[in-house]
Structure 1
Amino acid sequence: MKKKALREQIIANLVALAPDVRQFQADELYQRLFASHAWNTSHTVAVTMSTATELDTKPIIEAAQQADKRVLVPRTFSGRQMEFVPMTDAVRLEASEYGIQEPINGNATVKSGIDLIVVPGLAFTPEGDRLGFGGGYYDRYLADYSGQTVSLALDAQYFDTPEWTVNEHDIKVQQVITAH
């Protein structure tokens, strides 16, 4: 299946997901993330600010802050590049051109200073294949990142094998956590 069509199908499936089913799966994903080795050994966690169709990242951010982890959120810039900025009281967020809340101030953290990145996406496989939103921001960022990566997949986002073309520049995540 073409990536664009598959993205549209997955988004439609996520939107159609019954709220109680979505919440049950989300709670399972959060619990499994918080019990994971990657989470428990990290001091600095990078996580996106979720949109309405994505798994809500607020509980992840709150849990990281409660655990005294340093929370970083992405900021995009020209050339389809991104960096991660510490989320502090001084950082102001505004909607990007994609409707994602991003920091408009604050200094970026070097990649080697990030222990764990919770990588977003639309589809995932057990081997860590990932279908993102099409911008390539995470693939570019992860190409030379040496820390831990994890993705959280609702049932509608989990595929036994990729139903999309996996390109050589597509970076796999190290761990995909599922609700089942």
Structure 2
Amino acid sequence: MTESNPSISERKKGLRQKMLAMRRALSANETESRSSSLKENILSLPEYKNAKKIMAFLAMKGESNLDGFIRQALLDGKEVYIPVCLPERQMEAGRLIDMEHFEKGPLGLRNLPAGYEVTSPESLDLVLIPGLAVSQEGIRLGMGAGYYDRYLARVPFEKRVAALWDFQVIPDIPSEPFDQKIAKIVTDKSVIVTKRG
């Protein structure tokens, strides 16, 4: 392999490092302001208004923060689920009852307490998906572990919505056959129907 022709995995690795650095550069104030705009844009989606069961995610530092959105969804009477990582890079949707009761997981992550209710990927009406970047064709760049790609294989295409910051929508992302496409992108500045949608 020559340096002028890097593999797809090498190109993804370089892009991950670049996007992580951009995300980490956000100040707490900017993250809070962007989160408020992102929340309003998600709440305006017809997919949200018609949904009974929603899968969201609990943000890591710098990631698009959905905490305010999740609180509103719970107030609106929606069933909210979040990803729970399982062995062998599998994932399930565990029901979130409120935003107060968590167990501390590795790296300070918030985990659901034991005994949570699980629903199937097929039964979800809207799946909000994190990522480091997404292209307008709906190709998503995740952290590289493949949890979401395995899970999304069982989620109907039209229910997959990426939720991230506007600067994370980029023109081109190298893709591999197992990469699951996204139908819609919602950011703090816009809502984009992907070109594959």
TM normalised by structure 1 equals: 0.88
* 2:125 pairs with 1:115: yes
For the 8 Å contact 2:135–2:172, the answer to whether it is kept is yes
For the 8 Å contact 1:122–1:157, the answer to whether it is kept is yes
- Once the two structures are overlaid, the 10-residue window that deviates more, 21-30 or 36-45, is 21-30
Superposed CA deviations along residues 33-60 of structure 1, whole A, max 9, x for unmatched, are: 1101111111111111111121112112
Secondary structure, aligned partner of 1:38: helix
* 2:161 pairs with 1:130: no
Match of 2:18 in 1: 9
Q: Which has the higher contact order (CA 8 A, sep 6+)?
A: 1
How many residue pairs match? The answer is 177
**Do the aligned partners of residues 83 and 25 (structure 1) sit closer, same or farther apart at CA in structure 2, a change above 3 Å counting?**
same
2: CA distance, partners of 1:32 / 1:49? 18
Q: Percent sequence identity over matched residues? A: 27
Match of 2:193 in 1: none
For the 8 Å contact 1:48–1:57, the answer to whether it is kept is yes
* 2:61 pairs with 1:68: no
Q: Which of the numbers 179, 182, 188 marks the counterpart of 1:170? A: 179
Superposed CA deviations along residues 53-78 of structure 1, whole A, max 9, x for unmatched, are: 21112112101101100011111111
Secondary structure, aligned partner of 1:8: helix
For the 8 Å contact 2:36–2:68, the answer to whether it is kept is no
1: CA distance, partners of 2:120 / 2:166? 33
TM normalised by structure 2 equals: 0.81
TM-superposed CA distance for 1:176, in Å, is 0.5
Match of 2:102 in 1: 93
Superposed CA deviations along residues 57-104 of structure 1, whole A, max 9, x for unmatched, are: 211210110110001111111110010111126x95334445432224
Q: Note the residue ranges of structure 2 that are not aligned, 5 or more in a row.
A: 1-9, 191-197
1: CA distance, partners of 2:103 / 2:28? 27
For the 8 Å contact 2:35–2:66, the answer to whether it is kept is no
For the 8 Å contact 1:123–1:132, the answer to whether it is kept is yes
**Do the aligned partners of residues 4 and 96 (structure 1) sit closer, same or farther apart at CA in structure 2, a change above 3 Å counting?**
farther
Cα root mean square deviation, aligned: 2.1
TM-superposed CA distance for 1:20, in Å, is 4.4
Secondary structure, aligned partner of 1:151: strand
2: CA distance, partners of 1:47 / 1:98? 19
Match of 1:48 in 2: 57
* 2:171 pairs with 1:160: yes
